[in-house]
Amino acid sequence: MCGVFGAFSPSGSSVLEDVYLGLYALQHRGQESAGISWINGEENIHSLKGMGLVHIALDQKKLASIHAGCAIGHVRYSTTGESLLANAQPLAAKYARGPIAIAHNGNLTNSDGIRRYLENRGAIFQSTTDTEVIIHLMAHQSHKPPLDALVDSLRRLRGAYSLSVLLGNRLIGARDPWGFRPLVLGKREDVTYIASETCALDIVGAEFIRDVEPGEIVVIDSTGIKSVRIPVRTTRHFACSFEYVYFARPDSVIDGRSVYKVRKALGEKLAAGAPAPSADFVTGMPDSGTLAALGYSEASGKPFEIAVVRNRYVGRTFIQPTDLVRNLGVRIKLNPIRELLKEREVVVVDDSIVRGTTARRIVNMMRENGASAVHLRIASPPVRFPCYYGIDTPTCEELAAAQLDLPSLEKMVGADSLRYMSAEDLVAAIGKPRCELCTACFTGDYLQGGDEDGTDL
Ligand code: AMP
Ligand code: SF4
């Protein structure tokens, strides 16, 4: 998962600090690296990139001192390509028709085929990210005006991409025809913004204008905002349901649905479908299960308690790549309140189980601290399939629910009872028709149509 941001000021007022702040608000979408690119005059592209969190990777003071009226930014969390500075985005290049920089959220499912095709024709790739194929596809069409070349390149891609692009002195936003990843447009005075989530508009005081539609390219320049379609026919949309379950910030609104409200609704549905009548109170895994636990508590009439306190200075565990870091992360991060747990029966709500490490630890922790029974409730269906669209779920071998049936998983995490919610309830809580949502990691219902290897070239 990654986050993208972009800002364009027709009056040329400087936007680099806005982009920095936007990335700061999108930090939850990627913690591996951060970068900003801008264009100086018509021709020269500049980038500032670094590894780690936004405030470590980028120098806010330096950015504030640079004047640029059009810029894009990216926070990265690797799905393809290693964790290297060379893979940090935006990716910038100067091709025959001028400067271009791209920030990409999502994962292309046919990039390997396109890459091979281009390499056989002499392209030399600088990074191992799938995003670079977009630039090379454009470079191979230098006879076309840049925007036409971009549209034609995007037409050949399959999978997930929400893009923020600098093309000459234009800012461009694009969302794949299936709408996997969110992308929104906002405005503050005369400055137009593109962002992965609305929380990044809020931080710069911008008003939300609208979502970029699946298959839409928005072109922002001194004449205003224009909309162009990506010429790919689709039969349905695939908006990622996991954004609502876990990934997006709860203060964001995606495709007209408040993430906060969806998470509470998930908890309500879970309480109805997977009650725990003997439990004394409901608690959430901090912070990922808190809102669903609130919904569960309201719907079940059982009190909500904060039974585990999270050290707020420790980052999200999952996003850091190694097992060692992940395991240490959970231990460093959480501390239960013994007085609350002693001889009580607890419902613990979490958003999901991936490898099962977090669930096992938390159940264990509750028992060690006196809980008489622990009922684990998961506010999404079992994750049984990998994601190919930009969320770093592990392979089937590592996915606990792909390997174990419910009783075995219950035993593995050590809960007195473990229940999930159904895919139907997930879809109902999100409130979109099923044919507009991706649920592939839960149901195996992937985007179809020879999209995995065809290059369409
Ligand atoms: P695990 O310990 O591997 O089962 O991870 C489960 C925890 O990671 C849950 O509490 C979630 O909040 C979080 N999580 C679930 N899915 C993902 C994902 N695809 N990427 C990052 N974190 C996730
Ligand atoms: Fe989202 Fe899961 Fe679909 Fe990936 S497979 S896009 S995580 S719903």
Q: Which residues of 70-96 are buried (b: 16+ CB within 10 A; e: fewer)?
A: bbbbbbbbbbbbeeeeebbbbbbbebe
Task: Say if ligand 2 is within 6 A of residue 220 CB.
Answer: no
Q: What is the dihedral of CA 20, 228, 170, 92, to 10 degrees?
A: 70
Q: State which ligand 1 atom lies nearest to the alpha carbon of 330.
A: 2
Q: Is the CB of 242 under 6 A from ligand 2?
A: yes
> Which pLDDT belongs to residue 453?
39
Q: Is 426 in the pocket of ligand 2 (CB under 6 A)?
A: no
Residue 35: beta bridge partners?
49, 74
Give the integer Cα–Cα distance in Å for 80 and 132.
11
Q: What is the 50 CA–ligand 1 centroid distance (Å)? A: 25
> Which structure tokens are listed for 169?
């002195």
Vertex 282: Cα angle to 280 and 285 (nearest 5): 140
State the pairing for strand pair 98-105/281-284: unpaired
Which atom of ligand 1 lies at the shortest distance from residue 391's CA? 19
* pLDDT value of residue 451: 42
Establish whether residue 352 lines the binding site of ligand 1, counting it when its CB lies within 6 angstroms of any ligand atom.
Answer: yes
Residue 137 backbone class (left: φ over 0; alpha: ψ -120 to 50; beta: rest): alpha
pLDDT in tens, 68-125: 999 999 999 876 666 788 889 999 999 888 999 999 999 999 999 999 999 998 889 9
The closest residue, in CA terms, to atom 5 on ligand 1 is 354
The alpha carbon of 352 and the centre of ligand 1 are apart by a number of angstroms equal to 6
Ligand 2 geometric centre to CA of 390 (Å): 8
pLDDT in tens, 155-165: 999 999 999 99
- pLDDT tens profile 352-387: 999 999 899 899 999 999 999 999 999 999 999 999
Range in 77-86, 147-156, 431-440 with the lowest mean pLDDT: 77-86
In the chain, the domains with their CATH numbers are 3-234 (3.60.20.10), 259-431 (3.40.50.2020)
Which tokens go with 365?
């922790």
Query: Edge-to-edge, what's the strand order for the sheet holding 224-229?
Result: 91-95, 98-105, 162-167, 170-175, 216-221, 224-229
Supply the residue whose CA is at minimum distance from atom 13 of ligand 1. Answer: 318
Q: Is any atom of ligand 1 closer than 6 Å to the C-beta of 246? A: yes
How many Å apart are CA 172 and CA 148, to the nearest integer?
13
Q: CA-CA distance, 68 to 52, in Å (whole number)?
A: 24
On average, the pLDDT of the chain sits at: 92
Residue-wise pLDDT tens digits, 287-309: 899 999 999 999 999 999 999 98
Within 13 A of 314's CA, how many CA atoms are on the CB side?
19
Q: What is the pLDDT of residue 84?
A: 80
| Ligand 2, atom 2, residue with closest C-alpha | 441
pLDDT band of 454, cuts 50, 70, 90: very low
What was the pLDDT predicted at 450? 45
Catalytic residue at 199? Answer: no
How far apart are the CA of 48 and the centre of ligand 2, in A?
A: 31
Q: Is 254 in the pocket of ligand 2 (CB under 6 A)?
A: no
Residue 23 has pLDDT above 80, yes or no: yes
Is the pLDDT score of 440 beyond 80?
yes
pLDDT value, residue 334: 82
Q: HEC string of the chain?
A: CCEEEEEECCCCCCCHHHHHHHHHHCHHHCCCEEEEEEEECCCEEEEEEEECCHHHHCCHHHHHHCCCCEEEEEEECCCCCCCCHHHCCCEEEEECCEEEEEEEECCECCHHHHHHHHHHCCCCCCCCCCCHHHHHHHHCCCCCCHHHHHHHHHHCCCECCEEEEEECCEEEEEECCCCCCCCEEEEECCEEEEECCCHHHHHCCCEEEEECCCCEEEEEECCEEEEEECCCCCCCCCEEHHHHHHHCCCCCEECCEEHHHHHHHHHHHHHHHCCCCCCCEEEECCCCCHHHHHHHHHHHCCCECCCEEECCCCCCCCCCCCHHHHHHHHHHHEEECHHHHCCCEEEEEECCCCCCHHHHHHHHHHHHCCCCEEEEEECCCCCCCCCCCCCCCCCHHHCHHHHCCHHHHHHHHCCCEEECCCHHHHHHHHCCCHHHEECHHHHCCCCCCCCCCCCCC
Cis status, amide bond into 321, omega within 30 of 0: no
Share above pLDDT 70 across residues of the chain, in percent, rounded to a whole number: 92
Angle 423-430/259-273 helices, nearest 10 degrees?
Answer: 140
Q: CA 93, CA 80: separation in Å to the nearest integer?
A: 20
pLDDT tens per residue across span 204-246? 999 999 999 999 999 999 999 999 999 999 999 999 999 999 9
